[in-house]
Amino acid sequence: RKRTGGLVAVALVAVLVAGGVGGGIGYWAAERGDTGSRSTTVASGEAPASFKREPGTVAAVAAQALPSVVTIQAKSGGPQGEGGTGTGFVYDQEGHIVTNNHVVASAADGGTLSVTFPDGKSYDAEVVGRAQGYDVAVLKLTNAPKGLKPLPLGDSDKVAVGDSTIAIGAPFGLSNTVTTGIISAKNRPVASGDGAGGSNSYMSALQTDASINPGNSGGPLLDASGAVIGINSAIQSTSSGFGQSQAGSIGLGFAIPVNQAKNVAQQLIKTGKPVYPVIGATVNMNQKGDGAMIAPQGSGGSPSVSPDGPAAKAGLKAGDVITGFGDRQIDSGPTLISEIWTHKPGDSVEITYERDGKTAKATVVLGERTGDS
């Protein structure tokens, strides 16, 4: 299912495509020019019985992280029992699991959730809280085992383009799959929907070329030290081929920065509900390239700038075009929301806007909204 600006990476089926096993076995021979019958056979030694991977290698990082990455099976409560497969990771020793909202949404109302660890042990789980706008959800194992090892959390603000990345997940249902790549871009505005008419999710994403496919959703994106820097959430993809119901990776994957995901997870564990920072204005979500225009009139006849809201207090009016938010250039409504949601309620942010052909600046103190609406 395609999303606006991305394709959710939750697996509905497990499909293997044999992509052209071919070429045969290459054979090489050359004239040596000597006339002797000397043997050219080279004896091969046996590999050490206990070959160790050096700390910092992909193999060592994967071995350390894999026991804390789980495969999530979500089934709806309807007669068909529809659902899908996604990924999550251990957040704390109490049994909280962090994943994407769209991984567990089908089971949130009367459905069932099961969590399977790499050792094959499965546990029932329940939803602690979901944030549709952030596309983050927290589960809790109903009978959490002792000795859980939470994955260490990194600092996504310090990530640089070109940094190595390691993604772990269950692409197309293939659990415990490890892929590698780099951070190919930062602060990539991504608006992604579930394709079912629900509200979109927005993120100022980390972009990676590590292979991410349907089923990787909710899994960790790690740095070279093994710390979580993002939650894999969406992919950009061409249309599917070979009769598959879902398209695969073309090297454009998007992850929710872990600094944002951590704040959301903590709020969900504490209250069960997400809290969103807001500017108190309705912006045009379809116009692109010229900024985010405050709509002339809100939906249902409501004012486009909330009276006494953050935007109104900053002097913004209907028709203003926001072109900058902090140090970020704004080219559309989704980009603005993606940037707003990287902050917290109460943050003061300088906004650049245009009115009647003139550029001006204002400082907005972000308000808050609790829950998805």
User: pLDDT digits over 32-66, tens only?
Assistant: 333 333 434 444 455 555 667 788 899 999 999 99
- In terms of CATH, what superfamily is 275-370? PDZ domain (2.30.42.10)
Domain boundaries, the chain: 2-11+152-259, 58-141, 275-370
Q: Does residue 109 carry a catalytic annotation? A: no
Please state, in angstroms and rounded to a whole number, the distance separating the CA atoms of residues 1 and 206. Answer: 21
Among residues 76, 184, 217, 237, which one is catalytic? 217
pLDDT at position 7: 53
Among residues 135, 194, 209, 223, which one is catalytic? 135
Q: Does residue 249 carry a catalytic annotation? A: no
pLDDT at position 33: 34
Taking the domain 58-141, which CATH number applies?
A: 2.40.10.10
Among residues 68, 102, 106, 233, which one is catalytic? 102
Do 58-141 and 2-11+152-259 fall under one CATH topology?
Answer: yes
Question: Which structure tokens are listed for 200?
Answer: 């979109």
pLDDT at position 19: 31
Residues 269/97, Cβ–Cβ less than 8 Å:
no
Q: Average the pLDDT over 336-348 and give the result.
A: 94
Please state, in angstroms and rounded to a whole number, the distance separating the CA atoms of residues 153 and 138. Answer: 16
Higher pLDDT, 363 or 197: 363
Q: CATH class for domain 2-11+152-259?
A: mainly beta
The C-alpha torsion from 83 through 85 and 90 to 95, rounded to 10°, is 30
Q: Does residue 201 carry a catalytic annotation? A: no
pLDDT at position 82: 72
Burial (0-12, 13-18, 19+ Cβ within 10 Å), 46? exposed
- Asked whether residue 370 carries a pLDDT value surpassing 50, the answer given is yes
